[in-house]
Structure 1
């Protein structure tokens, strides 16, 4: 979840002056990407019509005199309060980027993404229907901002914390995993950054991960449900940022996966493969460009995974599980960003 959460937006929505320029820049664009809308592909939309960092976003009425959003821009320009300051302009940009980050993290086909997009086209039509009537523009934008803030709060859930990890591990947190370190100690060591990156996937599945500061090769990965319940935990060593030029992991590379329900194992391997591919490429991957071949390579790479069933009594090796083949769609490495 981005720093600018729904609660942050609720606090700032009271300052009505920040609304018009934000939503003109971020959302006041014709919904031309019908395929992406139909698929509920929020990351794709974040890269195209809602790209907060594009120098010339499609449909921008500032740059396109034929855009149907010209009346909206005119209304915003005419009604802009005199007390606007550079700081509020910066806040506009910050909130715009926050919404863009919501799209990026919402995933494809997830309830979160569908909720973000559900009323988007209707909103755009309402905004266009306002023409250059400033109060109408303001009213429609204010309502949409409240709506987006509520969606973010509903679908991002509460932040993951050590208490969630301890609830999952229970007494098994004392298991020795390597070098005399307990499972809980090693897991927390790999989650020592803030905020923790998170990606939402279909099927009520979140992937949360982190790493040890100044030692990104020591990572921890958590699979959780939307209610915060931990489903599985992975300790990841020497996988991160092997680069597009590298075609294999070092011998010391390994992923140790711990779960309480062995039946969940087949459903976790494909998401784990997608995340590990992004991890090996250093995260923030663009699989449509120069990294396309590397993305294909790493999404097929045989990962050094060992799975363990909890509770585990005695030596850890006695609790290992046979790995089924990876089945189902492997999420694109592009989804995992930090």
Structure 2
């Protein structure tokens, strides 16, 4: 009987190691869907490096990689495994949060994570091997990000969108271009992919997060729309309504783009009202703000009703 119990114990241990090596994670908590990247970033991959994971779980198969983190002394500082480890994991989690659910971007991230983990485990305590695998993963993540996100909006693309309307005078005397630039005065601009050919990026005026500008752009960096946002950031935290002077002024050249843009703008505005980096861990709060009638007006255009799902708020981070 003892021998049978021993065999059972060994089988269970081997099965656990196999599940880890395959990139699986066993938990009694609700398991996110395989390609729900924001949920995975807040659960299975919610750590900033392997050392943090090793400290949480002494049985993790990454203990050898953690040993390398602590003990391997490379010749060049850029090959420091602890630095590479943190860089890779922070990059990976940031991308998960942006990638959305069941998107090609998300699938590329998840489908390449398992092979990376298996290579890392196979290195054992071999420092150069761990460094090489981490370096390859860092470059791989950069390639995935480049493939599935739009290039940054250039000044030329921004000015091409504005055209002669850039000199349009707003109610406070500023031109449209002047006001837009004030709300984009940080670098780099935070962004989130919304669809294969649609990315939202945004900024704010330094020391004045209540004055923001939002851009919608395509795969080649072409700007589709601009929104000027006032008195919205963090105004919904702990509340159920926005102040009366909150407003979102939307400018688009092609009215046909409104149906594509509005769901993302609604989600972004909800996340913005809650202060960004929203975890949605308070019952009903995120759902309330996803459905909240945002003070959006479109320049010389009526707003169509939003008929497509509003994206999750967890993908907007700054």
Which of the five TM-score ranges fits, normalised by the shorter chain? 0.7 to 0.9
Structure 2 portions without partners, runs of 5+: 1-19
Counterpart for residue 332 of structure 1: 312
Counterpart for residue 296 of structure 1: 287
2:182 to 189, 192, 199: 189
**86-95 vs 61-70, which moves further:** 86-95
Residues 1-338 of structure 1: matches in 2 within 5 Å?
30-32=23-25, 36=32, 38-39=34-35, 41-53=36-48, 60-73=53-66, 76=68, 80-81=72-73, 83=75, 88=80, 91-92=83-84, 93-131=86-124, 137-288=130-281, 290=282, 292-308=283-299, 320-338=300-318
- Going from structure 1 to structure 2, the CA distance change for 1:68 and 1:255 (only over 3 Å counts) comes to same
RMSD over equivalenced CA pairs, Å: 3.2
TM-score, normalised to structure 1, is: 0.75
- Going from structure 1 to structure 2, the CA distance change for 1:91 and 1:250 (only over 3 Å counts) comes to same
- Going from structure 1 to structure 2, the CA distance change for 1:42 and 1:178 (only over 3 Å counts) comes to same
1:43–1:104 contact (8 Å) kept in structure 2: yes
Cα distance in 1 for residues equivalent to 2:160 and 2:42: 37
The CA deviation at 1:71 is 4.9
Q: Can you list the C-alpha shifts for 1:157-206, whole angstroms capped at 9, x where unaligned?
A: 43324332111111111112222221111111111112211111224211
Cα distance in 1 for residues equivalent to 2:236 and 2:214: 20
Q: Secondary structure at the match of 2:165?
A: helix
Cα distance in 2 for residues equivalent to 1:242 and 1:78: 44
The CA deviation at 1:80 is 1.9
2:212–2:228 contact (8 Å) kept in structure 1: yes
1:112–1:155 contact (8 Å) kept in structure 2: yes
> What stretches of structure 1 move > 6 A for 4+ residues in a row?
84-87
Structure 1 portions without partners, runs of 5+: 1-26, 309-319
TM-score, normalised to structure 2, is: 0.79
Counterpart for residue 12 of structure 2: none
Q: How many residues align?
A: 295
Counterpart for residue 317 of structure 1: none
- Going from structure 1 to structure 2, the CA distance change for 1:28 and 1:214 (only over 3 Å counts) comes to farther
Q: Can you list the C-alpha shifts for 1:122-160, whole angstroms capped at 9, x where unaligned?
A: 332343344556665555444333322322333344332
1:271–1:330 contact (8 Å) kept in structure 2: yes
Cα distance in 2 for residues equivalent to 1:117 and 1:104: 12
Cα distance in 2 for residues equivalent to 1:108 and 1:280: 22
Counterpart for residue 20 of structure 1: none
